Amino acid sequence: MSPVTTKGGLTVRRLTIFAIIIILSTGCTIESICKPNREDVIEQIVPSSVQIVLERDGERFRSGSGVAVAARQSERGTECFVLTSGHTLSHRSDKDRVFILFGRHRSAGKKEAAVVVAQRDTGEMDLALLRAPTGECIPAQFGNPPSLGDPIWVVAYPWGRNMTLVGGIVSQVNLDQPGDRATAPRFIVDASVSYGSSGGGVYDAEGLLVGVVEGYRSARVSFEGNASPQYITVPVPGETYVVPLADVRRFLTQVDQTALPGALRTVEGARP
């Protein structure tokens, strides 16, 4: 090795050590440098959020939230596949129509008619998969099962209105469930949501999808009416139930695989 190369190598090494000393002295870590900042995470997760609208005789009668999870090219262009809650689509007639609003995070959104690929609304499974043509499909990236105390983001459209972004942590996991974290059951986050948030995406601190909102605990608040006591049902703050990716995978195994894009087919190497 020539003296010039050696000198240059030593200079680079000294600069690297010097930079690490500065980082550590300011309270930073090498790990924190690699993590995306909050602005980047929000910019990543928000575009994958969509709003679900059900119409009857041309009038909206129900709304929900959803998250784009895959795209596929077809003869008609790009088809977007969206996850939402199964109960959002329950008790509808053959004449009722389902729509997805894309780009809703930045405007009124573009409404596209959706096809229900699959739906389950049972005590064990509360998920649905929709398909709609759009040029604005930005699928979320799947993450890993979170642990107790992990930070999360929830993106949804409560009360059928504008998008809401709320943060929190994983506040409860079911430690009594047998098996490992890859097959973890539903968990709870302390991010508060309201009616219409079901199906919204739940993301980890890096912006990766870890589940979808299933629902929330509610409570009856009584008050005195004109003739007799009355009550209203309100969400209990901080008790939001989440359908984890393990349930999403089980749900997808029950779907006709030929109806799914490659990214969602439940074969080895193609799982979310």
Average pLDDT over the chain reads 83
Q: Residue 185's closest CA among 246, 271, 122, 238?
A: 246
CA proximity to 125, closest of 222, 243, 12: 243
Beta carbons of 191 and 166 less than 8 angstroms apart: yes
Q: Say which DSSP state 180 is in.
A: -
The vertex-65 CA angle with 219 and 97, nearest 5°, equals 110
Please check whether the domain covering 151-246 is classified as CATH 3.40.228.10: no
For residue 144, the model assigns a pLDDT of: 92
Structure tokens that stand for 132 in this block: 């709609």
Among the four given CATH numbers 3.40.50.620, 3.40.50.2300, 3.30.700.30, 2.40.10.10, the one describing domain 42-133: 2.40.10.10
User: pLDDT under 70 in the chain at which residues?
Assistant: 1-34, 175-185, 218, 225-227, 233-237, 267-272
Q: Between the CA of residue 247 and those of 120, 236, 243, what are the distances in Å?
A: 11, 24, 6
**154 and 200 Cβ atoms separated by less than 8 Å:** yes
Predicted confidence (pLDDT) per residue in 215-227, tens digit: 877 677 777 766 6
Query: What is the residue extent of each domain of the chain?
Result: 42-133, 151-246
